[in-house]
Amino acid sequence: MITEQQSLKNYNTFGVVVRAKYFASVNNLAQLRELIKGKKYANTPKLILGGGSNLLFTKDFDGLVLHNAFKGMEMVKEDEQHIYLRVYGGEVWHDLVLHCVENGWAGIENLSLIPGSVGAAPIQNIGAYGVELEEVFHSLDALHLATGEVQTFHHADCEFGYRDSIFKKKLKGKVMVLSVVLRLNKQATFKTEYGAVKRVLEQLTAAGSPLTIRTISDAICQIRSSKLPDPKVLGNSGSFFKNPVVTPAFFDHLKEQYPSIPHYPLANGQVKIPAAWLIQQCDWKGKRFGDAGVHKNHSLVLVNYGNAKGQEIKDLSEKIQDSVQNRFGIALHAEVNIL
């Protein structure tokens, strides 16, 4: 069913008040193909919308919003080491994590409490606390909006990078992810290198809890809840910027000026620097301008205190980028899609 002038306030985690000229929540292939191939909307701009957790609307959308409501989970196959689980694009990501933890299927417990839908996860190549989606990704099925054809993409087809994929580049806005197949592990390999994770796990296991994927998931949830505001209470999209990656030579230059600069060496020899630290050094943490601001507990999180316009949040993000560039010579890139 198509609605007109649909409010998208409840479909974006920033809670920005914007409207879609046309809106449809789709949950089956026949309905989706009818919408994209029918004459009425054939030449209308289209936007695929999942959980709206990685979007900043700066204006109304003058086209057709297709809300991904494909639901369901099913085991595709299993072998001695792995479970292959198909999950449909409209499922809530954290619900999937909890389902896997409950069943003892390892691999995504470090990605607990990341907001958004399953369909958006491979587009963004979501990651947290030493794990990225691509590590458990097997394949996905996506529908091409121009033709209505469904294509299966395997790992090599997706061109995964740091918070990046082919779906953010060549195929941006051109496909809808219908389902994702994950290769989950029957035997867990724990990833607990991040300092905050280590500290919380030490507290939990000291209380008698063994180290399990459930313990790790609980630790991640505890950390994220303490640092990141609940979008249902305070509008936000989680991390607004990507952590920048620099060359070793540039990092050495920075370290001479800032000996205590936090950093993470990468396998390719480059160095990742926490964007939150850079922003905090530029004195943005906790700053508020009207209803747009930087969260008091985490400088990487921009927030809507109530009635901020998307453009106001975008303007704030650009001021932050300018100040980090001017002080450190580092360009911050938005992790959030700005429309």
Active site residues: 163, 239, 335
DSSP symbols for 294-319: E-SS-TTEEEE-SS--HHHHHHHHHH
Could you tell me if 52 and 12 are in contact, meaning their C-beta atoms sit under 8 angstroms apart? Answer: yes
> Residue 99 — left, alpha, or beta (φ > 0 → left; ψ -120 to 50 → alpha)?
alpha
Sign of CA dihedral 26, 13, 58, 276: negative
Cβ pair 25, 2 in contact under 8 A: no
Report d(CA 213, CA 234) in Å as an integer. Answer: 29
Answer whether 17's CB lies under 8 Å from 9's CB.
Answer: yes
State the Cα–Cα distance between residues 294 and 316, nearest whole angstrom.
Answer: 9
What SS3 class is residue 107?
coil
Q: Which H helix or E strand runs over 183?
A: strand 175-185
